C-alpha cells in the first residue's frame, strides 16, 4: 500500500515591492534634504548680505533681502510635516540665527527697538544666539563711526553692546541651558572691552582737538584785537 505525503504550498509575499517602496521614500527624503540645505545656505547668505547693506545704510535693499530669506525659511513648515528630523540640523539653526541677527541689527538702527522672537517667528534659542552676534555688528558700526568722526554714534553703539551682554548674562539658568551662548557672550565681553577703549581714545582725541581749535580761535582773536589797538 502506497502512502502519499501531502505537500503544503506556502505562498510568500515578494520582498521586492516592499524594498522598492522604501527606496522611493528614501530618495524623496534625500531630495528634500538637499533642497533644504540649498535653501538654508541661500537664506544665510541673504541675511549676511542684508547685514552688509545695513552697515552701508542701504536699508531698503537690506529689507528686500530679508524678505527673500523669510520665504525660504517659511518653506520649513512643509518640510517639517513630512520629515521633522531634517529641520533640526546645524544649517537650519545657523540660517535662523543669521536671520535674527540681521533683523535685530537693522531695527535697532532704524527704529531704536528690539524685535521679539514672536515677531520674527523664530525659536527662543535661535533668537538668543542671533542676538548675541549683534554685539559684533555694533562693534563694526562703532569703528565705522569713529573713522567718520561721529563719536556720539560710536558711544551709542557701545551702550547697545553692553545692554545686550548684560541682559543675556542675567538670564540665570537659561544662560547655562542654551548651548553656545556662553562662548558667544565671552566673545561679546572682549569686543565690548576693546570697543570701550577705542571710543575712549577717540573721545579724548576729539575733546583735545576741540580744545586746540578753541585755543587757536582765542589766540587769533586776541592777536586781531592787539593789532587793532596798536594802530
Per residue in 118-174, pLDDT tens? 999 999 999 999 999 999 999 999 999 999 989 999 999 999 999 999 999 999 888
All domains of the chain in start order, with CATH: 26-114 (1.20.58.2140), 123-206 (1.20.58.2140)
Secondary structure letter of residue 85 according to DSSP: G
pLDDT of amino acid 202? 83
Asked whether the whole model's pTM tops 0.75, one would answer: yes
pLDDT of amino acid 208? 61
Amino acid at each position: 500500500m502506497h502512502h502519499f505525503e501531502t505537500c503544503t504550498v506556502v505562498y510568500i509575499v515578494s520582498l521586492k515591492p516592499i524594498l522598492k517602496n522604501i527606496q522611493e521614500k528614501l530618495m524623496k527624503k534625500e531630495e528634500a534634504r538637499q533642497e533644504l540645505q540649498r535653501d538654508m545656505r541661500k537664506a544665510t547668505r541673504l541675511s549676511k548680505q542684508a547685514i552688509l547693506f545695513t552697515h552701508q545704510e542701504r536699508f531698503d535693499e537690506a529689507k528686500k533681502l530679508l524678505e527673500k530669506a523669510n520665504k525660504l525659511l517659511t518653506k520649513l513648515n512643509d518640510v517639517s510635516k513630512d520629515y521633522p528630523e531634517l529641520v533640526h540640523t546645524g544649517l537650519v539653526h545657523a540660517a535662523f540665527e543669521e536671520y535674527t541677527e540681521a533683523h535685530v541689527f537693522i531695527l535697532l538702527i532704524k527704529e531704536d527697538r528690539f524685535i521679539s522672537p514672536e515677531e520674527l517667528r523664530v525659536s527662543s534659542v535661535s533668537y538668543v544666539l542671533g542676538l548675541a552676534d549683534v554685539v559684533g555688528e555694533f562693534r563694526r558700526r562703532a569703528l565705522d563711526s569713529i573713522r567718520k568722526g561721529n563719536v556720539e554714534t560710536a558711544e551709542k553703539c557701545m551702550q547697545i553692546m553692553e545692554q545686550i551682554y548684560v541682559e543675556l548674562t542675567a538670564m540665570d539658568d537659561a544662560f547655562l541651558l542654551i548651548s553656545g551662548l556662553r562662548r558667544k557672550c565671552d566673545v561679546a565681553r572682549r569686543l565690548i572691552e576693546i570697543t570701550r577703549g577705542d571710543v575712549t581714545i577717540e573721545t579724548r582725541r576729539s575733546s583735545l582737538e576741540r580744545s586746540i581749535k578753541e585755543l587757536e580761535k582765542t589766540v587769533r582773536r586776541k592777536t586781531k584785537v592787539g593789532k587793532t589797538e596798536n594802530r
